[in-house]
Structure 1
Amino acid sequence: MGLKSDIWIKEMSLKERMIEPFCEKQIGENIISYGISSYGYDIRVGSEFMIFTNVGATMVDPKDFHYKNVIEIDASEQGFCVVPPNSFALARTIEYFRMPRDTLAICLGKSTYARCGIIVNVTPFEPEFEGHITIEISNTTPLPAKIYANEGIAQVLFFQGDEVCKVSYKDRKGKYQGQTGITLPKILKRN
C-alpha cells in the first residue's frame, strides 16, 4: 500500500472527480491553509456547524441520537463558529469526495488547530465512499475557540491498496454513502 503524491491526487481529482471542488495549489495567505500538498490534500470546513448542548438534551446515544442534543449554527455571515470550552461540534467539508475502489484515505487535523487545543477527528474514507465528510471538532481547552468557516481544518492522506478490495463501501451500501450535509450518527436497522 503506497501513499499517493500530489501528481496522483491532481490527476484523480481532475479526471475522475475524486475531490470537488478541487484546489490545484496550496492557498494559505492570511487564512488557515487548504488545497493540495506534496502527499495530501488540506480540506476546508463549511459554514454549517452543530454544537452539542445540554439545554433540553437527552443522553448521547449513538444508536438513538436526538437532535435535541445539538444546536445548529450558520457561520456564513461572521465567518467563524465559536465552540464553547470543553465542548464538541460537528461540521462538514466543502469538498465532496468520490473514493476510488482501490484507495483508502485517512484524515488528520491541521497543526494550526492542534496547537490551540482543537482536535479534529474524521473516520477513514473507505473505498468507493462518496459524499461530504462529517468532521468532529473537540475544543479541549477551558476557553471558547474559533473555527474559521471556509478555511483549512484537516489534511487527507490517500493510500492505494496493493490489490482491489473484494467488497467496497458502496457494495456494502454503507449507511453514510452519498451524505451531503452534516450527518448525525445512525445505525442500520433491519426491517
Structure 2
Amino acid sequence: MRLCDEDIKKWIFKKKLIITPIPNMKKIHGATIDIRLSNKFRIFKKSYNSIIDLKKSSKNIKYVLEQNISDEICIANNKSFILKPRNFVLALTIEKISMPNDLIGWLDGRSSLARLGLMIHMTSHRIDPGWNGKIVLELFNAGNFILALTPGMFIAALSFEVLSGICSKPYNYNNRSKYFNQENIISSLIYKE
C-alpha cells in the first residue's frame, strides 16, 4: 500500500523514515514528497575508443571504469548547470534518505520537466529497504532545448510503499551495499557484482 501525504508525515515525525534535511511539509502532496537538486554533477568524458564488456566475468569492466571516465564537478548554488540536448549526466539530491527495512521508495520525475525533455532516471528509480544516502539522478536531456538546471530546484518526487513485512536482506545487508551511505556521486561499480 502506497503511503498518502498524512502517512508520509507520520513516518517522518516518528523517525521511521528519515529525510535530512527535514523537508518542508508543504512539499508533501497527495502521495509524494518533492526533492531538490544539489550542486554536484558527474560528467562523462567523450570516448568512442573504450568498450565496456558487460559480461560478468570480464576483467575489462573494472579496468575501463577505473580509468578516469568522468569528473565530478560542484557548481556555485547561484549558478546553473547547462544540460544540452542528448547529453547524459549524473546528479545528486540535496536530501539524504534513510529507509527502514519495511518500506520501499520510488523516484519519479516531474511532469513539467518531462514535457521539456528532461528524464530524471534511466532505470533505477527504486529506493530499497535499508538504503541510506543521497540519491543519484540519471539526467538525460531528450528534448531539443538547452536546459539550465539550478541547485535547489525541485527535480523529482518520492513515494513510498509499506512492505508485507520486514525484509530479511535489506540493501545494507552483507555485500550488496555498493552505494550505501552515498554522499557523493559514485560511478558504476558493476564490476563488484
Q: TM-score range by the shorter chain?
A: 0.7 to 0.9
8 Å CA contact 2:33–2:159 kept in 1: the answer is yes
2:120 alignment partner, SS class: strand
Instruction: Tell me the residue number matched to 1:99.
Output: 99
Q: Please tell me whether residue 79 in structure 1 is matched to residue 79 in structure 2.
A: yes
- Does structure 1 residue 54 correspond to structure 2 residue 57? no
Instruction: Report matched runs for 1:33-182 at 5 Å.
Output: 35-54=27-46, 58-59=50-51, 63-64=61-62, 65-66=65-66, 68-121=68-121, 122-173=124-175, 174-182=177-185
TM-score by length of 1: 0.83
Identity %, equivalent residues: 26
Cα distance change, pair 96–82 in 1 and its aligned pair in 2 (3 A): same
Change (3 A) 1:69 1:96: same
- Normalized per residue, which structure has more helix? 2
Q: Which segment is superposed worse, 116-125 or 91-100?
A: 116-125
Please give the alpha-carbon distance, in whole angstroms, between the structure 2 residues aligned to 1:60 and 1:117: 27
**Aligned AA (2:81):** C
SS class of match (2:171): coil
Q: Gaps spanning 5+ residues in structure 1: where?
A: 27-34
Q: Go from structure 1 to structure 2 and tell me whether the alpha carbon gap of 1:61 and 1:140 turns closer, same or farther (over 3 Å shift).
A: farther
Letter in 2 for 1:177: F
- d(CA) in 1 for partners of 2:173 and 2:143? 41
Tell me how far 1:166 sits from its aligned partner: 2.1
* 2: CA distance, partners of 1:189 / 1:100: 25
Q: Which residue of 2 aligns with 1:29?
A: none
1:96: Cα distance to partner?
0.6
Match of 2:57 in 1: none
8 Å contact kept, 1:56–1:69: no
Inter-partner Cα distance in structure 1 for 2:186 and 2:161: 25
TM-score normalized by the length of structure 2: 0.83
- Matched residue SS, 2:25: coil
Find the aligned partners of 1:147 and 1:37 in 2 and give their Cα distance.
23
Please, what is the CA RMSD of the aligned residues? Answer: 2.3
